Amino acid sequence: MTALLYFIVAVLAVSLPMQTWLADRDDPARQAFLALGWAMGLAYGAFALSLLPGLAELRVVYTTAGCFVPGTLLWTVDRFFDRGDRLRSRWLPIVFIGAALVGPSTAIAHLGFYLNLPRSSPPEVGAGAYATAAFGVVLFRLWEAHELVVLPVEKTRLRYLLLMIGAAIVFTILEQLARSIGAPVDAQALSLASRGVALQGAIPPFSVVLAGLALYFLFHSVVAYRLLDLQELFSKAAILVGSASLLVLIDGITFMWVDTFTVYPFHSTFQIFLASMVFLAAYDPLRGSISFLAHRTLNQRGFQFTEALTHLRSQIPSVTSTETLVGELLDPLVASGRVPRCSVYLWDRHLDGFRFAGARGESVRKPLQIVMTRPFTEGFAEGKLWYARADVKRRARSDPEQLERLAMMQAMDADLTVPFMSGGAVLGWIHLRHERWSDGFSREEMHGLSEVAGLASVVLSNIRDFKVLEQAHRLAALGRMAAGLAHEIRNPLAGVKGAAQYLEGDNLPDESKEMLQVIIDEVDRLDIVVSQFLDYARPFELRRSSAHVNAIVVHALTVVRAQGVHPDVKIIEDFSGELPLISMDQTRLTQVLLNLLQNGLQAMPEGGVLTVRTRVRTLQGLSQLEIVVEDTGSGIAWDDLEHLFIPFFTTKAQGTGLGLPICERIIEAHGGEIDVHSQEGQGATFLVRLPLAHVAATP
């Protein structure tokens, strides 16, 4: 049993750091933790095997690998708790050089001169003294870090590690002394089970248990940048104790029954096998109840938070509007008592960024209203499930991009950010701040939040698709209505215009002529409105052909110049020379560009600068061809921006309010989008984005 315990901890020491390193191979703290795990795994694995018959020589491997454990532990502590030069240990190279000298020298001396010594050899004692001194350096390093950090959470984390590592070191020394001071053991005459206990010595293997716990705590620090809260720790311990008690009860009854039933070992083994099956069958349905009672009794706030996540999983799929979704997400989380502050940001294509959608809880900071895509969302686009602020802070020491991300999280008062994703596109995110007394959210809680965010992502995608479908149905209805309406309006208009033209003559007074001309002009304007309304409402098919966007833009500018441009207007052309051929309806796209160019010129009646730009841009992980039309005119009022693409909304005295909606329909038919950025008095920028999915083959 003793050998098995050492072997289990050895496997744990290798598997946990390996799992951590595979998740992020570039993290220096995880690299150091991997080295620590292999050193511990090799040492404890060799000691476990040395307790078996014929493998006593492996004590040399245990001693040699053990010399490297303090160095790798100091390396891990340095990497993880690094806060600049004042906390970087100058002892690290000395400890590693010492291990490189003492470890191999001990192995050579022991194998050469003390191989059959029943007790610890002088070289092994020397190696133990070195390891003790090196561990003292590690403890001093941890205490130094403890005194320099400010946050209570970090002080608690360091106290936990100091306690666990210090206890493991003390018991390792005591066990080694007990093995050296006691009477020599003749292990050859002992059974396999007795041999392990005898070679372990008078003190049970407390050190390996404490070392395993310290490794587990360090694992939580490296992976989730948190140690278990005491409430959570007690809750998990209660679950373990309850499950073990159930097993002991069933095994105890079985052993009592076996002793009275038979003296044959095979029958006894069979009865224990049956008892184990009974335990497994009973434990599966009881496991949920045991976990529920333990969390509810010993981890109240964690239990309430879990209940809030369960509530969200059941409620979110039925939400049908963005505003309701924001409230459904935020209210239960704050009500759980585990989240003092949370907020939601959602993608807004008109702003070309993420807008603040709502928050709950108190904050000393005013929320940011708009957040740009880069560089905050790049990690999500690459597959990150969340940003934990403490983890980002640690990575920011060596990564400038992480430093920018950390600044954004601090500005938004976020300790944890979980995204809403649709494929590779970021639809938004939810920010959460944990309570200052806690040590952050657990892995289970973060995975639960990620599941809730996944459901919210589906809802956001459905809402967006529903709006598109609703728009299509509305346009279909408008198309049917427009066809009949156009016939009913145009015939009377033709009659009115014809009558007005018939009444025109030289003998009419000037006032009558002016009135007749007003009638004719207004009839022509109404005919234009009806034509544009038909063009907007009825479905149309694109007549695609392969062309260069730059050629279309140049053609549109030529038409505009031919119509006349104010002499004080300067037109700047900034075209990318690396644009691919794309499949498009050239006539329709020219119509869009003419409308945007004319709007820009009309916004600068006294002159200004009209800039036309083409480029390829990657947005939300998708490459798009972008056409920019920018003017330095009067700009657009903030209240008017949201209504620009609504039919019949116009800020012009003679406008119909259908030009931009028609442009939007044309671009959307191409699979693209049109956005506008503007501030009143500072000009306007219209952006037409076309997907490169329709890249045409080069002939």
Q: Can you list the domains of the chain with their CATH numbers?
A: 2-227 (1.20.1070), 230-295 (no CATH), 304-464 (3.30.450.40), 468-537 (1.10.287), 545-694 (3.30.565.10)
Q: What are phi and psi of 370, to 5 degrees?
A: -140, 135
DSSP code at position 392:
H
Provide the angle, in degrees to the nearest 10, between the axes of the packed helices 28-50 and 2-23: 160
The SS3 call for residue 660 is helix
Asked if the model's pLDDT at residue 366 lies above 70, the reply is: yes
Question: 30-34, 535-539, 594-598: which has the minimum mean pLDDT?
Answer: 535-539
DSSP code at position 504:
-
Stretch 101-120: mean pLDDT: 77
* Residues whose CB is less than 8 angstroms from the CB of residue 489 and which lie 6 or more positions away in sequence, other chains included: 526, 530
pLDDT tens-digit readout, 282-322 = 666 666 666 666 555 655 666 777 888 888 888 888 887 88
The band of 648, judged by pLDDT with boundaries at 50, 70 and 90, is low
Q: What is the pLDDT of residue 38?
A: 93
Nearest to 695 by CA among 582, 617, 544, 579: 582
Stretch 605-633: mean pLDDT: 84
Stretch 625-650: mean pLDDT: 80
Stretch 71-75: mean pLDDT: 90
Stretch 403-429: mean pLDDT: 85
Identify which has the larger pLDDT, 483 or 131.
Answer: 131
Q: What is the pLDDT of residue 465?
A: 63
The SS3 call for residue 461 is helix
Q: What is the pLDDT of residue 563?
A: 82
Q: How many residues can be counted in the chain?
A: 699
Q: What is the pLDDT of residue 424?
A: 75
Q: What is the mean pLDDT of the chain?
A: 77
Neighbouring CB atoms inside 10 A of 629's CB total: 23
User: Which stretches within 352-442 are classed as H helix?
Assistant: 378-381, 389-395, 400-411
User: Residue 393: is it exposed, middle or buried by C-beta count within 10 angstroms (0-12/13-18/19+)?
Assistant: middle
Stretch 486-505: mean pLDDT: 71
Q: pTM of whole model > 0.75? A: no
Asked if the model's pLDDT at residue 225 lies above 60, the reply is: no
Asked if the model's pLDDT at residue 66 lies above 80, the reply is: yes
The band of 629, judged by pLDDT with boundaries at 50, 70 and 90, is very high
The SS3 call for residue 358 is strand
Q: Alpha carbon of 35 to those of 17, 337, 512: distances in Å?
A: 8, 40, 98
Most trustworthy range by pLDDT among 109-118, 155-164, 266-275:
155-164
Stretch 506-516: mean pLDDT: 72
DSSP code at position 228:
-
Asked if the model's pLDDT at residue 153 lies above 80, the reply is: no
Q: What is the pLDDT of residue 261?
A: 46
Q: What is the pLDDT of residue 483?
A: 60
Note if the bond before 375 is cis, omega within 30 degrees: yes
Q: Alpha carbon of 418 to those of 208, 266, 363, 438: distances in Å?
A: 38, 56, 19, 19
What is the CA 522 to chain-centroid distance, rounded?
58
Question: 31-40, 431-440, 461-470: which has the minimum mean pLDDT?
Answer: 461-470
Question: 116-125, 225-234, 344-353, 598-607: which has the minimum mean pLDDT?
Answer: 225-234
- Measured CA to CA, the distance from residue 308 to residue 317 in angstroms comes to 15
Strands 425-433 and 545-547, sheet pairing: unpaired
pLDDT > 90: percent of the chain: 3
- Measured CA to CA, the distance from residue 270 to residue 675 in angstroms comes to 75
Stretch 379-394: mean pLDDT: 81
Stretch 665-687: mean pLDDT: 85
Asked if the model's pLDDT at residue 272 lies above 90, the reply is: no
pLDDT > 70: percent of the chain: 71
pLDDT tens-digit readout, 232-264 = 555 555 556 566 666 666 656 655 555 544 455
Q: What is the pLDDT of residue 697?
A: 45
pLDDT tens-digit readout, 532-587 = 666 665 666 778 888 888 888 998 898 888 888 888 889 999 888 778 888 888 88
Residue labelled with tokens 């050895």: 10
The band of 86, judged by pLDDT with boundaries at 50, 70 and 90, is very low
Question: 89-93, 121-125, 254-258, 623-627: which has the minimum mean pLDDT?
Answer: 254-258
